Structure 1
């Protein structure tokens, strides 16, 4: 175990229900592992259906009878701004937890992701006192208006690849809307979310508004998805599990679902693109966060005129990508999040080799301890190969060759996914044509991973539905009520 992980005090390992850290009803626990060393970090309380039920009761009481939904938007805004300040004040702690529990890199988390999290709270705090309805012009002697009211108790199921960022993305708009909630962090990364729960109490969020139940998808996650007293659920993760969440929600109380699922995003480089910039963005779009990104541009389509030059530049960059201790600010590549994901990535690499792709560099595990895999580059990849069809969620880059714009549009869309995409070109007509033709929730032109709190994010097809970030994110946590009254003294009666 690294010296920082070995000496770091982990303060919160229980469930957080109704404003208190408590043991699970069963007393069961599970271990959370440092992916850099494969050693146990902490033993964490394991919540199951009965614990979810307690958390839901607390959230329901807080919604039906507590102050949070009844506070003015201004009052909610002030508490959320305090929450944001506390996130910034505890940036070192949050970043450390993300490193030792999830294998993320200290520098990017400390100086980028934690700041995004706090600014997301500030963004939605600014919306809390601006939620309004509309006055309707009716066609008869009726006057009417709409109210936009919080939907109620929300279940959030958070993925392991970015716990801090995803906590803010889901919790901040729900709080702004006036909802209460039950949150299940991923079983491999519970520590960051538990620390956020602690900060919520310090910020003045009333008891019962935020509840956290650690546990596994098949027990705690399933209980949230199917609970009759949860009014809406959000899930970020794999398409397979998203389908299960949706089925459980439909089979219970028909609760609305927002799903941000997998991706196999095309990154299209045309002959006229700036090759150096394209290679740099392709590298970042695949190797940032060890490739554990749903938005990874893992199908790189390069037009034949610059294919060889592009591959040479990208190969040099991949080979120079610094690997090592996640706490070292010079490191750009740390361990994969967990053993299961580590083994899946290695299996996908073997599929690539067996199916005829050319392994240019990488492809091997690193060291005897920790879930480290070399950044991997394949060329001569065809559309029918496993590495070109399936989401790998790891540091594996596939480069494919194309001739014409019509061809690449067709091939880019030939996937069950539709989350994001990238286009590199100096031709505005090409950029506009591709942007209008790609079936994905985002098209990034001459940039990549252009995520922002003001830009709605979500997928087409089997990448899910619903939008996070942007003011559109509030819609999942609000419902519209129409209030109509007659005008009895109308001259038209």
Structure 2
């Protein structure tokens, strides 16, 4: 918020992480959580959701001070979302059944779902509580033990969740939180022989390293959500271009662009390009950027000076490659001394530009014009990522063609963002594998066991 340190955290060593993993292993093996009846696990997770809701204001202020997300958004997307996620999986845990296989009359084939064991979870700084709950809730609902490593710059709310979980009745050792640097604590977690499944949200280079650590240790399964460079495609026949512009602006600039699914590439049909860029820029310019604890602020702070400098570097590179700044492009010098950046719109961006290909993770929108549906689809798929996308059109057939043609885990039509726990979130290509949210998320945390019974 103001660039000043306001607390300190323990820097876990590899030995600390190994102790946490051993604690989780012991808790799993003795069945203190795994063997509880589903109704008992459900009661604990519901109580945890109750506590999160009761203390939502405390959690939100703590999180905003930690990572700079604007208060209004954090209240809903962090504490509110986490409580809802724990409730969703509390209700789901006793509704996931095994199977009876179609066999011959003298054989009974059963397929049982069993918890995998110890889950290691590494979560990012942009929405630590929301994304942490996406990992924790289904893993715990399935009966596993968990070792969670938050981001170095956003650990406080997840440490609180560990306290709340104990208060809710989660047995000791089932949930362990280790704070520290990724290069030390994260590496130790990924190399641990006690971890059966590793789940991660973050950057591609770190995701690749985690796969290497899996190969070097016990071949633990690794599920990765690695971000994106999501296209937001606007056709001239969109029913309400003004609404599309407003939603598109928030689709990239909320939380200062620090959102995995942010619509960071705006692909606009050439006949409306200038008009639409003007509308998006107008809505972006009207957004108040400032102190994230101020209720007047619509956009909060950049997470760190390092992140801010990286964002500004993308703008410098883009203009050097021929793009033009339609709005913003610089740092906002707050009297607080914090890290704030203007919502930035770049036009004339082509697929050869770095800002077209690489994830900025900041308030930088790259705009590219197209002439045909085929060109829009080609541009949409012209990166290594495939996490999310948006399509604005009043043509139902075109909408279906684009949903089918765009390579992304989530395609929004005539909106951007806003999905809930009823549907999965996951990427294709180099945006990762596996899914958070929905019943499908639980697949990561179960093993399948076959019982072949001669009658």
Q: Shared fold by TM > 0.5?
A: yes
| Post-superposition CA distance 1:324-380 (Å, at most 9, x none) | 221111211111011211111011111111111110111111116111111111111
Query: How far 1:298 moved relative to its partner?
Result: 0.8
Q: 1:442 and 1:38 mapped to 2: Cα distance?
A: 35
Residue 112 of structure 1: how far off its partner (Å): 4.2
Displacement, 1:141? 3.2
Which of 339, 345, 350 is the equivalent residue of 2:316?
A: 350
1:171 CA displacement: 0.3
Please give the alpha-carbon distance, in whole angstroms, between the structure 2 residues aligned to 1:386 and 1:137.
53
Matching residue of 2:130: 165
Partner in structure 1 of residue 42 of structure 2? 77
What secondary structure is seen at the aligned counterpart in 2 of 1:39?
coil
Contact 2:70 2:301 in 1 (8 A): no
Q: Take 2:207 and 2:52, find their aligned partners in 1: how far apart are those partners?
A: 29
- The alignment status of 1:37 with 2:22, answered yes or no, reads no
Compute the displacement of 1:455 (Å): 0.7
CA distance in 2, matches of 1:333, 1:182: 32
Look up the SS of the partner of 2:34 in the other structure. helix
Question: Structure 1 segments of 4 or more deviating over 4 A?
Answer: none
Q: TM-score, normalised by structure 1?
A: 0.90
Do the aligned partners of 1:444 and 1:450 also contact (CA within 8 Å) in 2? no
- Deviation of 1:140 after TM superposition, in Å, equals 7.0
The answer to whether structure 1 residue 448 and structure 2 residue 416 are counterparts is yes
**Cα distance between partner residues in 2 of 1:265 and 1:47:** 35
Q: Out of 346, 349, 353, which is 1:385 matched to?
A: 353
Show the counterpart of 1:191.
156
| 1:311 partnered with 2:294 | no
Q: In 1, distance between residues paired with 2:81 and 2:395?
A: 32
- SS of structure 2 residue aligned to 1:350: helix
Q: Distance in 1 between matches of 2:304 and 2:210?
A: 22
Question: For the residues of structure 2 that align with 1:217 and 1:112, how far apart are their CA atoms?
Answer: 25
Structure 2 residue 251 is matched with structure 1 residue 285: yes
Q: 1:52 aligns with which of 13, 17, 22?
A: 17
Alignment partners' CA distance in 2, 1:113 and 1:63: 28
Distance 2:14 2:96 in 1: 34
* Equivalent runs, 1:139-154 vs 2, <5 Å: 139=104, 141-154=106-119
Structure 1: how far apart are the matches of 2:213 and 2:76?
38
Match of 1:330 among 286, 296, 311: 296
Q: 2:216 aligned with 1:251, yes or no?
A: yes
What is the CA deviation profile of residues 96-148 of structure 1, one whole-angstrom value per residue up to 9, with x for unaligned ones? 11111101111221244311110110000001112321111224732121110
Q: Give yes or no for the alignment of 1:466 onto 2:427.
A: no
* Partner residue, 2:381: 413
Any unmatched runs of 5+ in structure 1? 1-35, 488-493
Q: In the alignment, what sits opposite 2:400? A: 432
Question: How much has 1:308 moved relative to structure 2?
Answer: 1.3
Aligned partners of 1:398 and 1:359: how far apart in 2? 10
In 2, distance between residues paired with 1:451 and 1:43? Answer: 35
Whether the aligned pair in 1 keeps the contact of 2:189 and 2:195 (CA below 8 Å) is yes
Q: Is the Cα–Cα contact under 8 Å of residues 235 and 392 in structure 2 kept in the other structure? A: yes
Contact 2:78–2:128, Cα closer than 8 Å, also in 1 = no
Match for 1:321 among 280, 283, 287?
A: 287
Range with bigger deviation, 366-375 or 107-116: 107-116
Question: In 1, are the aligned partners of 2:231 and 2:380 still within 8 Å (CA)?
Answer: yes
Partners of 2:216 and 2:416 lie apart in 1 by: 38
Corresponding residue of 2:338: 370
Number of aligned residue pairs: 452
Q: Point out the more displaced range, 391-400 or 378-387.
A: 378-387
Q: Is the 8 A contact 2:147 2:175 kept in 1?
A: yes
Structure 1: distance between partners of 2:124 and 2:166: 23
Question: Counterpart of 2:325?
Answer: 359
Give the distance between the partners of 1:222 and 1:111, measured in 2 at CA.
32
Tell me if the contact between 2:408 and 2:428 (Cα under 8 Å) persists in the aligned partners.
yes
